[in-house]
Amino acid sequence: MTNTTRRLALAGLGTLLAAPALRAQPWQPTRPLRIIVTYPPGGVNDIVGRIIAEPLSRELGQPVLIENRAGAGGNIGTVAAAQAEPDGLTILFGTTALFGVNPILYASSGVDAVRDFTSLGMIGEVANILSVIPGRVQATNMAAFIAEAKARPLIFGSVGNGSSSHLSAALFLSMTGIEATHVPYRGSSPLVAAMLAREVDFGFDTTATSTAQIRAGSLRPLAVTTTTRASALPDVPTMQEAGLAGYDLGIWFNLGVPRRTPAPVVARLAEALERARNAPQTHERLRTAFVEPMALPFAENEAFIQASAARWQAIARAARVSVD
């Protein structure tokens, strides 16, 4: 073997030895990423999306931009994310509504978030709060409120038909045997405004959007919908503590990519999300927005989402919800 031949052979061997190492390198984005938030700017979904985008950008070494694609209860943005190239550069900001209710409300859309997206991981959870309106409702606790609600007709507001706000109330009414007239509003801000204007007797809205009014005394909270108390309102009992055994409806946020996304890309994004979410500064910013940080092992994400979606869909079917 000549020296030239030997050098070529050694070079070839080096390439072969290096190949597994090259294949083992984690995927790394080379262009900016976008998170599609399916609601307008300024709401809790947008706020949480921007909170997680910043540390995620640091972890991935690329800008992570927020793209608001609102409409049809979040379904417009969900369809756009599902149809995007499965290259890891388009991420859906997922919510309980997108996974748990929209497949029923928009059954003909061709998209089903549980079926069409792989979850990268959870971000956080908020509770809805059952708040009554001082001056319209006398009750100061759950038992008294149920008695009052059965004694006279009441009106409740929600952030829209089929929303978590609506379904939280639907489950409450079903479990207590109360009948009340539903008035859907188009978002949290109009609902809170209606509650402050005393247009309704009670409503369910998130800790993120009603805590300030509760602290100011404008709304009277009776219970939160999660199984643990909200850190922002530690004196407000859970529904279960207030006497509704089995009531558990938390509103969670996650990130997801189209199901067709290659496994190495999913693994890299999931790892980056975990590190971004667990950063102390991220926890602090989430809690400032009245969102409780939420972590699940990656392997448990899919089972959790499927179970949660099934529970919300059962409530939606029982309530016979429909699009506005």
- What is the rounded CA–CA span in Å between residue 313 and residue 171? 12
Give the residue from 205, 224, 243 where a domain finishes: 224
> Does the residue 20 lie in any domain?
no
Cα 89 from Cα 152, distance rounded (Å):
54
* Helix or strand holding residue 120 (H, E): strand 117-132
Same domain membership, residue 109 and residue 89: yes
The model carries a pTM of: 0.85
Q: Verify that 220 and 259 share a domain, yes or no.
A: no
Task: Check which CATH number belongs to the domain holding 196 and give it.
Answer: 3.40.190.10
Residues spanned by the domain of 153 = 127-224
What is the percent of the chain where pLDDT is above 70? 92
pLDDT, one tens digit per residue, over 173-232 is 999 999 999 999 988 889 999 999 999 999 999 998 899 999 999 999 999 999 999 999
Q: Is residue 199 part of a domain?
A: yes
Within this chain, do residues 140 and 186 fall inside the same structural domain, yes or no?
yes
| 220-237 per-position pLDDT tens digit | 999 999 999 999 999 999
Domain count, the chain: 2
| CATH code for the domain in which residue 59 is found | 3.40.190.150
3-state secondary structure of 234: coil
Q: What is the pLDDT of residue 44?
A: 87
Residues of the chain with pLDDT under 70: 1-24, 324
| 319 phi-psi bin (left φ>0, alpha ψ -120 to 50, beta other) | alpha
**Within a domain: residue 202?**
yes
In the structure encoding, which two tokens stand for residue 290, read together? 């009245």
Question: Residues 94, 121: one domain?
Answer: yes
β-strand pairing of 292-293 with 33-37? unpaired
73 plus 114 within the same structural domain: yes
Q: Are strands 117-132 and 90-95 parallel, antiparallel or unpaired?
A: unpaired
Look at residue 145 and give its three-state secondary structure.
helix
